[in-house]
Amino acid sequence: MTSTVLNTADYQPQLDEKAARIQDLLSDFETPELEVFASPAEHYRMRAEFRVWHEGEELYYIMFNQHTREKYRVDQFPAASRLINDLMPMLLDAIKPIKTLRHKLFQVDFLSTLSGEILVSMLYHRQLDDEWTQAAKQLKQRLNDEGFKLNLIGRARKMKIVLDQDFVIEELKVHDKTLTYKQVENSFTQPNGEVAQKMLEWAVDCTRDSAGDLLELYCGNGNFSLALAPNFERVLATELAKPSVDSAQYNIAVNNIENVQIIRMSAEDFTDAMAGKREFRRLKDQNVDLQSYNCNTIFVDPPRSGMDDGTCRMVQGYDNIMYISCNPETLRDNLAILTETHNITRFALFDQFPYTHHMEAGVVLERK
């Protein structure tokens, strides 16, 4: 058996180094004391992708060294959830003797949850047929008989066969509440479930005494929108990716939340709509009257590229700003604009990606 090694003794030093690095990165700004939210030292990743290597009758997972691109065998992956590690060997053992399942299988993707559900996508360099579907159904049944809550997807060029659903239902605890989230294959979800819960709790705490409505840009599947809804009269949220919007609508309904509305728009288009530069039919179609909202607070969770200058200027129009960033360098660039009018009152580091250089940060700003 081959296992990628995590030296858990290195966890705290790497977290301390990140804390020092992000404070140095944002040293040009007046920041309050950094709040640091640690990850579990192992079994923290809810997603994992492995290439599949064929060697005679043998079949095993491989990964590639990021620097040398050399492949190495992986039988266990301590960074991934226990659920993924439990399933990894059983899945391959079940596939090996079945030719139609193993033939030209080149990748397996896992999406797991804290709730116990798991989704497996099997990717092929060939077209899939009825024989594959029947064998995959039997594979799914066999693994569920072993105690897994598993769904399967077969993918090939321009093909996708779903057995029986292409999503998992996650449950995240936010203080004394449990929120339910639909997470769709190949859509963005927070990779570290335990830290995702800490991020939601931090956001709720930061906005607990808020007044008026919340505007959220880049809302994804409504991850933060649902948790923050009780702190505001109404939440108006935007997201461009259709699968994420569909998931957000599902999540609003399943959690019985009545004060959140999701609009499918880019942040840039929404900026134009708020400024009255353009009219958008989709706003009229959804009976969204932007003027009726009393948004004192704006929440942004932009992509790695951060916000463009126009969106930053629009964001400055709100008394309270909460900014979650997966790239502190673009956060620093955006803060150069936002701190012209606002002071940073909360500052947090969330260790979503242990043992890597990646950092997730949160800042709260209030108008000067």
Distance CA 204, CA 132 (A): 47
According to the model, what pLDDT value does residue 217 have? 87
The sign of the torsion formed by the CA atoms of 293, 234, 256, 360 equals positive
Q: In this model, does residue 129 exceed pLDDT 70?
A: yes
Q: Quick one: pLDDT band at residue 181, thresholds 50, 70, 90?
A: very high
User: Does the pLDDT at position 277 exceed 90?
Assistant: no
Please pick, among 49, 312, 360, 366, the residue that the annotation labels catalytic. Answer: 360
Q: What percent of the chain has pLDDT over 90?
A: 80
Tens-digit pLDDT profile for residues 140-156: 999 999 999 999 999 99
User: Per residue in 227-274, pLDDT tens?
Assistant: 999 999 999 998 888 888 899 999 999 999 999 999 888 877 887 887
Q: Which amino acids are annotated as binding site for S-adenosyl-L-methionine, given as ranges?
A: 190, 218, 223, 239, 301
User: What was the pLDDT predicted at 12?
Assistant: 97
Residue 310 has pLDDT above 90, yes or no: no
Q: So what's the pLDDT on residue 365? A: 98
Closest CA to 163 of 121, 100, 124, 123: 121
According to the model, what pLDDT value does residue 290 have?
A: 82
Please tell me what DSSP assigns to residue 307: -
Q: How confident is the model at residue 2 (pLDDT cuts 50, 70, 90)?
A: low
pLDDT of residue 145: 97
In angstroms, the Cα distances linking 157 to 123, 126, 127, 349 are 9, 7, 7, 40
Instruction: Confirm whether 33 is a catalytic residue.
Output: no
Q: At what angle do helices 328-338 and 11-25 cross, to 10 degrees?
A: 30
Domains of the chain: 8-41+191-367 (3.40.50.150), 47-168 (2.40.50.1070)
Q: What is the DSSP letter of 203?
A: H
| Mean of pLDDT over the chain | 93
C-alpha–C-alpha distance, residues 352 and 79, integer Å? 12
206, 219, 295, 326: the catalytic one is 326
Whole-structure pTM value: 0.92
Question: CA geometry: angle at 299 spanning 12 and 313, to 5°?
Answer: 115
Over the stretch 70-88, which tens digit does the pLDDT of each residue have? 999 999 999 999 999 999 9
Query: What integer pLDDT is reported at residue 270 of this predicted model?
Result: 81
Token couple for 355: 């043992």
Contact 90, 146 (CB under 8 A): yes
pLDDT above 50: residue 10:
yes
What is the C-alpha separation between 195 and 111, in angstroms, rounded? 16
Residue type for position 365: L
- pLDDT > 70: what percent of the chain? 99
38 or 67, which is more confident? 38
Confidence of residue 4 (pLDDT cuts 50, 70, 90): low
pLDDT band at 304 (very low <50, low <70, confident <90, very high): very high
The neighbour count for residue 291, using CB atoms within 10 Å, is: 7
Q: Characterize 248-263 residue by residue with b for buried, 16 or more Cβ atoms within 10 angstroms of its Cβ, and e for exposed.
A: bbbbbeebebeebbbb
Q: What SS3 state is found at 45?
A: strand
Can you say which residues are annotated as belonging to the binding site?
Answer: 190, 218, 223, 239, 301
- pLDDT band at residue 3, thresholds of 50, 70 and 90? low
pLDDT at 1: 44
Whether 326 is a known active-site residue: answer yes
Give pLDDT tens digits for 85-123.
Answer: 999 999 999 999 999 999 999 999 999 999 999 999 999
